[in-house]
Amino acid sequence: MIKVYNNFLESLISELPKLNIKGSIVLDELTLIVPSNNIYPLMLYLRDRTNCRYKIICDITATDFLERELRFEVVYNLISVTQNSRIRVKTSVNELTELESLTSLFPSANWYEREVWDFYGIIFKSHPNIRRILTDYGFNGHPLRKDFPLTGYSEVRFDVERKGVVNEPIELAQEYRTFNFSSPWDNTDKPLLNSEKKI
């Protein structure tokens, strides 16, 4: 299988030199890496080319690498039934980069792209209905970003007196504290104080 993937990768790179495709094979799975502006032409090629026929997009997801310049890595997983094969395509974007929507090529990409936008804030231009899919419509922010606060920005609860759902800003019950988790055994060369000595 590795030889087949190697041949396929080499043919892709030679046939589509302008797309700047890179690839790797890990655990018998082929991963293609392409710049964000070339994602649409590559997907069109993978869907329609006779030796590919990747006609099913089974997942679109993302990962946030906060320390990178292009912090979001968007991952597309494709299946070819005729070739009995799977392939993974990756691209990287930042908060401002728009990715071309694949809903015109794969109708099932609609909800996947909405989910990625909802959780990460990655923009898919020319998407027919980009709106929240798993969080509330009034939700503030994108919860799977690494810089999203663990507490969120607001609290949603049912108020018995008002007999309805209330959306309020978060109020922490205590001040922010820092904890020192260092062990006394970390600095063995430091002499113990009288109060620290065991009797």
Of 55, 97, 52, 56, the C-alpha closest to 73 is: 97
DSSP H or E segment with residue 135: none
Look-up: residue for tokens 């401002």? 96
pLDDT (average), residues 116-143? 91
Decide if 57 contacts 75 (C-beta within 8 A): no
pLDDT at 187: 60
Share of the chain above pLDDT 90, in %: 56
User: In angstroms, rounded to a whole number, what is the distance separating the alpha carbons of residues 150 and 15?
Assistant: 46
Domain spans in the chain, listed from the N-terminal domain onward: 2-136
User: Radius of gyration (Cα) for the chain, nearest Å?
Assistant: 24
Name the phi and psi angles at 121, rounded to 5: 80, 20
Mean pLDDT calculated for residue range 141-153: 86
Give the mean pLDDT of the chain.
Answer: 87
Q: Where are the alpha helices (DSSP H) in 49-182?
A: 109-120
Among 1-5, 45-49, 130-134, where is mean pLDDT lowest?
1-5
Least confident of 10-19, 139-148, 172-181: 172-181
List, for residues 148-190, the tens digit of each pLDDT value: 887 777 777 888 998 888 878 777 666 666 666 666 666 655 5
Report the CATH fold assignment for 2-136.
Answer: Beta Polymerase; domain 2 (3.30.460)
> Among 163, 124, 157, 117, which residue's Cα sits nearest to residue 141?
117
**Model pTM greater than 0.85?**
no
